[in-house]
Structure 1
């Protein structure tokens, strides 16, 4: 660096004479060689200057690392990497790096000086022409191909990193965040580097990248260069992020600039969400851009010639304006037309508003019979227009464009009906995605016949859409105005989610015209929604019968509907798969197939089917919702909450109404509830209740009230929970909603379970199971079987519990459903515990614990931790049990799970009492009592009263649970507190425990029997009881109170004068005490010894000692 006095006082300055935060002024000399002339640009890592190399007498560009970066080892390393990587890439369209230098602490590099400007600066003036964009894109793709050949990924391609020279040639620069695909030391999956606006989906998600990420970035740049905008939209950050993270770009054909077909296909391939669907090689992209330019020149000459000759047909014009189809390769298919049909406006005395809706639906159904076309479901179109409050009587080109954008369609069919009581004239228009009309047709009909003659109208559209007429046109509509009017009214009710109100008017429609197939089909769905299964089957059979001898899409739909209603799920699946195969562009068929697979528990296959829909139609709210729903059910609520349901909400915020938003918010509540985020879940549920109430969505309102009730149960507000459930039950009963009733019976069962009334809970669960079986809901059946199993477990009916739990476990494992498996394993773990099968209990619970942790489900994790602690307590691993209970309580501490905190406080208090830590146990009992004041769980209240010695109150609560186990626990506690009771009472309790099959209680009863026999002087009887008890069942490891049998054994031997046997028993007892006290603090050990000393009335202080 020059320190010549003349240069600092003249026109030169050295770097050290420039403040660290300043731009270098003209005249500054770097490393004694490079004289700064001007600033070219400023980047994230440094400033680029135009400079003169005084040694070689040439103009160069100098990139100087920012001062704060220069002090960073990471920044220096990134700077060095840039030059090393850039030097590997040699190509005319890559800016050549000369050298790297250092001036003091400052790092810089020198490179070719490209005279011109950045693409970013050029785009500020406006979009490029197609020829300019294609030329620029080919230059950049060539540079990327050269980099990729050297296994180098740029990773930060953007307009600011593309330089345009004076001739218009593009040069790629700035490899500052590039990396070698052969090296992994500098970046790994999970790190995000690069400029956010041009990142590929995999970069946004922090996943590993390769050259296809650069191709995605180039696709974005080409789109921006051609249209003046990036292909993303959204008013909120969450909408934009959702699109960024998934790569769900707006189709370039729907942006404001009309682009040729070859360019649209290039853009779509570059911007494919899945890297596997993009160009695998940038060289192929170079070829397609070059061929596209040549093809465009040929096409332009041909089009002009044809226009001059006056032979451009409407179909050819439409094909050019909507989806130009100049082939890039011989095998690439022509893009599918995606069409929406809007309700027609009506004018004149002889028409009515219902005619416009019904005719639109009839036209849409006819068009949908052509497999090459993709029709947006007419019901979805009506819902969107209703939510946007768009009036078909006065719809503008701007509103048509808005609908096209929201529905992501390439064409919109709309029009008007006008006439008098005798004649009706129908005009149809086909508009492109920009709202510009590209085709028009006109027909006249008798006033009563336009809907029946919909196929005739549709035929004129097939030619405009360059599609052949379908081979099949089943008759599904009515020619009777009265029937169509009733049908339209029914449709209005269905749009509001009110199936019950829709039923009578749809019945009127089919009574007026018994041949009205679509009305029969809608009626079958309404009956099914209302829980009238037999009526639904009959209506579906009516629809199917009237399609006998016909073929086509509607016939397959009717077959699938009937099969599903009668519970023939495999037949329904086969039919829907045939429908999808014959009509690959029928997105509603794909959604129905995905939903069916999900309801059958085939969650992976359901996800594949539904994601295929969202890949084609990123605004399909039902598909996103179902993806979220099945993610939750299959044990991945995090994926639902953070991905699928966020997208569903984004779509609903744009195109939906209160009903759709309420449905998604309700599902978000469920997801967050499973994640243990109860406050957030409650907020979602309450918002869903308000929206569904506003929308008049009675069925949805009942579901959200039921979910809210569940949270109220968890927090111990049982009265509020019951009020919510009762309100939901009234709604579902009024609607005749079988599925809703089944769900509510489940919630009622859970409420009674939470209250500790297991007999009533069992009754509710069994009713839910009956309804789910009738509906063929396999997953719900398995979940109900687990609920029934748990109720039987709590009632002490272990054989029944085992049958239902194992049925549920088999289903969940066959369906690879970890969440369902986790819940059932908890039930089985507690069943094994009750039977004294410690090792089996531990295996089940450890598997459940692993699943709960992997799935991020803290409630389940806490429950399993507590169950494992209980096993440890029964086994006599006391330190482990104490730690487990406290771990469970720590997990629940911030989650307001009153019942859970009370449960583990009581269990911990019981263990502390057993240890002799009475004062500490009282603290936990006081906490539990304060929590239980919010709402009475009979089992927990019985437990609390039992530990407090209030045996009458404990007995009352235990009786109200309906559980023989709870009642036996109270009886054992009462007898334990009164050691002078007769041996007959103890013997009776032993028989009760044996009948129940609860081994820990059976052993506890035997200790009391042996003690009472010993105290009564019945030494032989006491010895028999002790020997039988110490002969543990196969697989039973030591029990926590085995030492009591050994103590009694020692005392009996002493009474008989058998000192050898007494000493043997004493040693065994001491070994057992050593085991029990392992890991306990000295204070806990001393407390246990003191408690053990007082267990038998006679003194035994010399026999029990702390280790």
Structure 2
């Protein structure tokens, strides 16, 4: 048994609150807007959204061959999207192949979702056109709502475009077909609202069909949405849609313009590394003309696309009929009447640009040559780095908290990249002011690259200088200096991390780019208070943890939407009970939950908030599923999180009895933090839980040999020796800790257990009295009082105190599930009853089989 690991729980970039006054630029937006009309900042706290994919929702899958509703035989899953999953099926009654679209299972009883699903079917069923997918019926069976529709055999327009820009005639043909379908929908008063290349199917015969009216709205009807969902796909959103304004058929015309641009050029007109950047581009930037991307595009076609993409919808095509007429004119080789004025203006501009392009072409040749020279000799891809402690350029000790905070944040941001191994902060902090060579450090940490640098805060300006060094040769591969306004400090961390990733040639996924680039401006005073809190937290002791809470609360007072401060506050509250054992879980863990949920409200990308929620679920709610969900989400957001790897091991070992999987996570944590003795300690305990006693002893002895004063190493040896019946050796380890001044509740409780088993009743009672005396002055875990009673053989007393621990939501109580000294009470029926109350009855047989 051991107090919970604290690890190095690392913070994440903060986001602004959902307000109508833009938190970024202060622009006054209309109520209900989704994005700022000036800078593109997203209002609210929705998770980063892919610019090319509608939000997906997990559903329960129907296996191949099953017959649904006594009629439809499932053939295969075709895909899933924002409002459900689609299967290919055979209608055994009518002997035809069709597609079935299901409302997500978890929304079956959601009235809003069902209403919207029905509206989709009604909107599509009202349309009868060869370029719109036919809807047969909507029904409900086996507790699932579904739509039966025509099965379209072919591929999406998006898939065709991914192979390269379409031929002009082919693209025109598809464009006219889609325009025909939209014209029909608009005539019936139906606005699609999610036109994109992925929602257009092309049959084997070359017929285009508009699919998925999941966001469709009938003119005059009510829009039904799930709170917090991003409606539509960002890259195809019209400006008015992005701003959350009322939309009409012109929003479809804009989205169709994006599809036209995509077909002719092979790329999207509005791009960015994250959703905010895309929205900013949609609202404020002009796309590159398609003729710049493809020389054989008729200028008339460029102007049609340009008119469809006018940001002011009053200057856009008003009706699909007009746009369709212009496309038909171009297909017939006729100059469209609706864009003659635009064409004359475009031709004049083209002549003026000709000379400029010639000059730029010459410059491009020069730049290309220089770039090739610059890249010659650059480092090969590095998949492992260590960021050494940054130098405090000011020389002022009062700035140390700031420099350490910059160092911690840089490690945090780099850790978000799954393909990169980033050594965690505890291991690299050992090299602060070290005389070792970089090659020695890299060898000890098992990395290929070293990042070194310095930081300085001067007035309202933050400066960080970094250099990338090849570990084997100590050759400086790259260096850069960054100067930013203090309020942009979080953006700076992400920018530096992305630059380093580029220099080491490591793959960064689009989702990772989004997370690294999603930071918002910060309140300088709030961030200073937050950094001071982190500084004291990293000293890692109960008194400093309580001081960190004071600073985090002050930061939140300055900025009520400061996600990082909420996440750090949650971490501190969790550790006061599950780590430092100085307060009962019932007093701290609800506060931790509240703070973590607040953090995720303002920034859904914070892995540490999910770690805290996972611990609350495990130690307070005793909810295995929720704990698993949050720990896995934390690792998804930050695959290099030591804290997440450590705590998911606790869940796997103690709540599921999956020791091998727990060891896998600890071994990964050891790779990321090779000098962290806590990771090594946890490995020893999992060996012990799995009954590999000899390996556990070797592990704990290795820890004590490295650091003779390490209390957890001695605590581990005490427990394993005791379990093997070597009571004298167990007691000797415990007494060493007492002699060193270590009188933590866990040490006294553990030693009291083995005094009891060894028959040294007086010694055990002496320690029991000490715990009870201390409980009159402050909190003492009831779990450890119960443990000593159990060692003394007073089982009734033990269960009285276990019950008290249950009421207090004592974080230590989950250790009763481990096959440790507590399996001695497993034959008692009260033990099984306690496990059942906690939701851990599934572990009874595993523990009982290990009884003494």
TM-score, structure 2 as length reference: 0.42
Higher relative contact order by CA 8 Å / sep ≥ 6: 1 or 2? 2
Higher share in helix:
1
With normalisation by structure 1, the TM-score equals 0.34
